[in-house]
Amino acid sequence: MDAAGDFTVVWEGSGPDGRVRYLGTTVQLVAVAQGGQFVVNSYTTNTQILPKIAMDPAGAFVVTGKSYLQDGSRYGIYGKEYMRWRGSRIEFQANTYTTNSQTLPAIAIDAAGSFVVAWESYGQDGSRSGIYEQLFAPTGGGNVAPMGTPNTVTTLHNVPYVFFCRRLWISDPGNTPPNTLLNVIVTTLPGLGYLTDNGVQIAARAKVSLADITSGKFKYIPPSVATGTPLTSFTFQVQDNGGLRQGAMTRTRLRKR
């Protein structure tokens, strides 16, 4: 599960040819599936079973499992990285020792996307089964999280403030060419006044789309009597369209005059 509460489910299932392989689907916090199920393993000969999954806070995830005869000697441990919402990379093999079987995979991932795969290997240490692991950095060339810059804005007394893209200070210096904005996620709400999207008051973790922002539907509604410098603040994250890694939490301060 990622920081927004969205998650991906993987399981074993039979494909059109009757062979067992890993399948998966991504689900939002409200339990609405995002698209149809998808096949994880690229190699589809024989059997691929025991899928395991780990997801980082930004929604990128890695699936591992064991695959029969893919490396030429019984079972081996294979995996695939995914950016958020299934933007996948090339399938990889975790075990370098391929004699006999490597089985019972396990996986864990950190906030930066680095992950470790562990498994049981038969005969590798000379005495039946041993436990082995391999540490992986995120594959190069992936999406780097976009950025927002802390800022203070001013709104007139009793006048709503409209947040357009240029006023959310979104940048994407880590990618060439830069990706474009997809959503803004409000992580904490202002202590005074409230935020609206298309005229509806929003709650924490709400996603505000690029379309709503560019059309002036994302607004701060100030309280009628309070003043202050700053008056209040809220925090947000930005998502881009390059695999949807969320940016770091960014603070926006609001003041009234």
Residues in the chain: 257
Domain membership flag for residue 142: no
- What's the whole-number mean pLDDT along residues 77-90? 70
Domain that holds residue 53: 7-136
Residue type, 211: A
Query: Please, where are the H alpha helices in the chain?
Result: 210-214
- What's the whole-number mean pLDDT along residues 170-197? 80
For residue 107, name the pLDDT band (cuts at 50, 70, 90).
very high
3-state secondary structure of 86: helix
- What's the whole-number mean pLDDT along residues 217-236? 83
Considering the domain architecture, whether residues 119 and 191 belong to the same structural domain is answered as no
What percentage of the chain reaches a pLDDT higher than 90?
A: 24
Domain membership flag for residue 141: no
Q: Residue 11 and residue 220: Cα distance in Å, rounded?
A: 43
> What token pair was written down for 34?
């995002």
Considering the domain architecture, whether residues 14 and 117 belong to the same structural domain is answered as yes
Whether 3 has a pLDDT exceeding 90, the answer reads no
Domain membership flag for residue 2: no
Considering the domain architecture, whether residues 168 and 124 belong to the same structural domain is answered as no
- What's the whole-number mean pLDDT along residues 166-185? 69
Considering the domain architecture, whether residues 20 and 131 belong to the same structural domain is answered as yes
Last residue of a domain, one of 95, 110, 136: 136
Kindly report the CATH number assigned to the domain that includes residue 163.
2.60.40
User: Are β-strands 151-155 and 250-256 bridged in parallel, bridged antiparallel, or unpaired?
Assistant: parallel
Q: Residue 155 and residue 163: Cα distance in Å, rounded?
A: 11
Considering the domain architecture, whether residues 53 and 123 belong to the same structural domain is answered as yes
Last residue of a domain, one of 86, 106, 136: 136
Please write the tens of the pLDDT for every residue from 34-80. 566 788 888 888 999 999 999 888 778 889 999 999 999 999 999 88
State the total domains in the chain.
2
- Residue 139's pLDDT is 58
Considering the domain architecture, whether residues 132 and 170 belong to the same structural domain is answered as no
> What token pair was written down for 182?
């997809």
Considering the domain architecture, whether residues 20 and 116 belong to the same structural domain is answered as yes
Please write the tens of the pLDDT for every residue from 123-137. 988 888 999 988 876
